[in-house]
A and B are shown apart, each in its own frame.
Chain A
Amino acid sequence: EPEVTQTPSHQVTQMGQEVILRCVPISNHLYFYWYRQILGQKVEFLVSFYNNEISEKSEIFDDQFSVERPDGSNFTLKIRSTKLEDSAMYFCASSDGTPVSGANVLTFGAGSRLTVL
């Protein structure tokens, strides 16, 4: 079964450092997402991406965050200068976007745990 893969599974960084989280979405999917889960809390939407641009972003997704699809397969989330409160599990997801019953369901990756010290 197709899956979304994320790397690294766990990253530890110092406050103020730049971090790039990588994702390989399902190959025929058109919509890509990042969600975040602070430890023990609910999963929160960060950003959606379609046709090489951001389609929607939440208030969490401030100027410190950026997303990119540098080639035909990877989708990245960059945090420019990490803060302690950025420590969380970051989930990448993708969907096909088609209005067909049973379709357009988000498939999530296993997550990248970011720890900011």
Chain B
Amino acid sequence: AQKVTQAQTEISVVEKEDVTLDCVYETRDTTYYLFWYKQPPSGELVFLIRRNSFDEQNEISGRYSWNFQKSTSSFNFTITASQVVDSAVYFCALSEAFQGAQKLVFGQGTRLTINP
């Protein structure tokens, strides 16, 4: 069975600090896909990134970076120089499928609060 664990329930930092959100996953599949979604206070789910299990290269997008390590089954998300607008709940998710229907298994989420 697939499982995603986000051990950090809540994180609070001061603006401009760097912060890392942890995600650990379990799956028996050799091919799988990992995601991060952001849920701002308005409630919608905003897609941030998808990685496939064959690509362990770290990815950077502006202030956001992702570290995928298959050896530890982790897919961590770092925000550099955090801003108040980064305050949200962040979900890590896992899927087996590349094509066709996508059944995402979500973690419990990490509530990130950036204080001015």
Contacts and interface: CB of A to CB of B under 8 A. Distances in A.
Given A42-B107, A42-B109, A111-B44, A105 B50 contact: yes
B44 A109 contact: yes
Interface in B62-116: 91, 93, 98-109
A42 B106 CA distance: 6
A31 B43 contact: no
B102 A48 contact: yes
Given A48-B103, A50-B100, A99-B99, A43 B50 contact: no
Contacts of B43: 89, 110-111, 113
Contacts of B109: 42-43
B107 to A, nearest CB: 6
Which of B43, B91, B102, B107 has most A Cβ within 10 Å?
B102
Interface size class of A (residues with CB under 8 A): 20 to 34
Which of B37, B46, B50, B91 has most A Cβ within 10 Å?
B50
B108 A41 contact: yes
A43 B46 CA distance: 13
Interface size class of B (residues with CB under 8 A): 20 to 34
B42 A31 contact: no
A74 B23 CA distance: 35
Nearest to A95: B102
A10 to B, nearest CB: 10
Interface of A: 31, 33, 35, 41-45, 48, 50, 55-56, 89, 91, 93, 95, 97-99, 104-111, 113
22 contacts: A35-B104, A42-B106, A42-B107, A43-B104, A43-B106, A45-B105, A48-B101, A48-B103, A50-B100, A55-B101, A99-B98, A104-B99, A105-B35, A105-B47, A105-B50, A106-B104, A107-B47, A108-B37, A108-B44, A108-B46, A110-B43, A111-B44
